[in-house]
Amino acid sequence: MTTKLQTDFIVRLASLPQFTPKVAAEAFDVGARKLRAHLHKLADAPGAWGADAAGEYWNDRESFFSIANWTSSFPLGTALLAWVQTEDEYFLNQALRLDPWYRRKVTEHAADTMHDLGFLYSLYSVAFFKLTGDRMHRETGLRAAELLAARSIPPAGYLQAWGRMDEYNPHFAGLAIIDCMMNLPLLYWAAEQTGERRFYDVAFRHAELTRLHFVRPDGSVCHAYRFDPASGLPMRAENACGHNVTSHWARGAAWAIYGFALSYKYTKAPEHLQTALKLARKFISHLDEEIVPLWDFRLPPGAEPLRDSSAASIAACGFDELLRHVPDESGLRKAKHALLARLCCPDYLDADESHPGLLRKGQIGDDVPGQARNVHTSWGDYFFMEALACELGSETKFW
C-alpha cells in the first residue's frame, strides 16, 4: 500500500535537483573550506564541539574530558575525510594536535568515559591508524575498546548506557540505548586487530539484545530499554531522546540502520542485514515532501514539525553501507540521493565561512522547553561529509 506520505515523497523526488557527483563535490568543498578555517580553534582549546544554534561549535561548553562528551571526533573525523579528499596536510596536522588528549581520556580520565567511546575513538584513533598505520593510534583505540567492553553487563550482556562503571546510579543501572549500535564497530575492529574473540562476543551480544528488544514488529524502534540489573531479564522500553516511549525517534532509527548494517559487515549475521533493511524501509516510508525527516516520526497532532538534518545524513550513510551488501535495493539508492540532494539545498546547507557548522536544522534530543532547537550539529555535518565522500568514490570508512 502506498501511503499519503510516500506519495508526497515520490512527488517531491521528481522535483529535486539531480544529485550528481558535481553537486556532491561542491558540497564537500564547502564543508572542507569551512572546517579548514576553524579547525585550529578545536586544536587550540579542545572541547566537545557538538551543537550550536549559530554553527559556532566552540560555544558548546561541554569540556573534552567530560563524561558527557561524545562529539569531539565529528569535526576531527571530518578533517580526516577532508585530508583524504584534498591531500591538504593541514587537516592531518591540526587533528594530530589532539592526540595527547585522546590518550589521556582513556588513561588518566578512564573512569569518566561512557558508551560513546565508539563514536570518539572510531573517528579518531582507529581512523588515524587506518590512514597512517601508526601503532600509537592502534594502542589508544584498543584501550578505548577495552573500556567499552568493560561496560558489558552480565548476565544479559548489554552495554550500559551513560554513567561511570565504578559507582551505582539507579538511572543508568540496567539501561541500554539504541545509539550504542554505532559504538560496536570499535569492538569488532579490536577483535580483528587482537584476535581476541571477547570483543566480538560483547558487540554481537549487544546487537542481538537490541534486535530482540528495541526493534518493534512494525520496523520502528524505541530509544532505550531497561534490563533487570541483577537478573538481566528484559523489563521495559524507556525513552530519553525521542518524543515518548512509544514514539519513533528519527535519529535513533538512523543510528540503528547504520549500526545494524555495520554489524552485518563484520559478522555476516543475516538477521542483522534483515533488521537494517526492515528499519530502513520503515524510515523511508515516513519521509514526506520535505524529504528531511521529522525529528520524531510519531509526533502528536499539533506538535511543531521540526526536522532533523542529522537523522537524514546518518540514514544516508546507513543506506550507503546497506547498498554495499544489497546493491539491487534501488529504493535505498533513490532515498539516499534524495536525502543528500535535499541537504545540499540552501535551506539546509550553510555556506557561511564565519563558522564551521555545515548543516542547519539539526535537533539535539527531546523537545525539552528551553533546549536549543534547529541547531547545527557536528555529528550531522560529519555524516553528511562521509556520505559525500562515499559518493565521490572514497573507499575510506573509519567504522
Just list the catalytic residues: 116, 179
Total Cβ atoms within 10 A of residue 150: 14
Q: Give me the DSSP letters along 310-332.
A: HHHHHHHHHHHHHHHH-TT-HHH
CA–CA separation, 327 and 274 (whole Å): 14
Output 50 or 55, the one with its CB closest to ligand GLY: 50
**Cβ of residue 252: shortest distance to ligand GLY, in angstroms?**
7
**Cβ of residue 115: shortest distance to ligand GLY, in angstroms?**
9
**Cβ of residue 179: shortest distance to ligand GLY, in angstroms?**
4
The residue within the footprint of ligand GLY, chosen from 109, 365, 366, 392 (CB under 6 A), is 365
Give the per-residue SS3 of 52-90: ECCCCHHHCCCECCCCCCCCCHHHHHHHHHHHHHHCCHH
The yes or no reply on residue 241 touching ligand GLY (CB under 6 A) is yes
The residue within the footprint of ligand GLY, chosen from 137, 206, 243, 251 (CB under 6 A), is 251
**Cβ of residue 365: shortest distance to ligand GLY, in angstroms?**
6
The yes or no reply on residue 98 touching ligand GLY (CB under 6 A) is no
CB-based contacts of 210, cutoff 8 Å, min separation 6:
176, 178, 180, 181, 225, 256, 259
Output 348 or 383, the one with its CB closest to ligand GLY: 383
CB-based contacts of 369, cutoff 8 Å, min separation 6:
none
**Cβ of residue 163: shortest distance to ligand GLY, in angstroms?**
14
**Cβ of residue 134: shortest distance to ligand GLY, in angstroms?**
29
**Hey, what's the cell of 382?**
560529519
The yes or no reply on residue 157 touching ligand GLY (CB under 6 A) is no
**Total residues at interface with ligand GLY (CB under 6 A):** 5
Output 19 or 70, the one with its CB closest to ligand GLY: 70
The yes or no reply on residue 222 touching ligand GLY (CB under 6 A) is no
| Residue nearest ligand GLY, CB atom distance | 179
Strands 234-238 and 224-227: antiparallel
Output 141 or 252, the one with its CB closest to ligand GLY: 252
The yes or no reply on residue 70 touching ligand GLY (CB under 6 A) is yes
CA–CA separation, 35 and 168 (whole Å): 40
What residues from 172 to 191 belong to the interface with ligand GLY (CB under 6 A)?
179
Q: What are phi and psi of 63, to 5 degrees?
A: -85, 160
**Hey, what's the cell of 220?**
520502528
User: Which segments of the chain does DSSP mark as H helices, in order?
Assistant: 4-15, 21-44, 73-86, 89-96, 99-105, 117-121, 127-132, 135-149, 184-194, 197-213, 250-267, 270-285, 309-325, 330-343, 378-391
The yes or no reply on residue 306 touching ligand GLY (CB under 6 A) is no
Residues that bind ligand GLY (CB under 6 A): 70, 179, 241, 251, 365
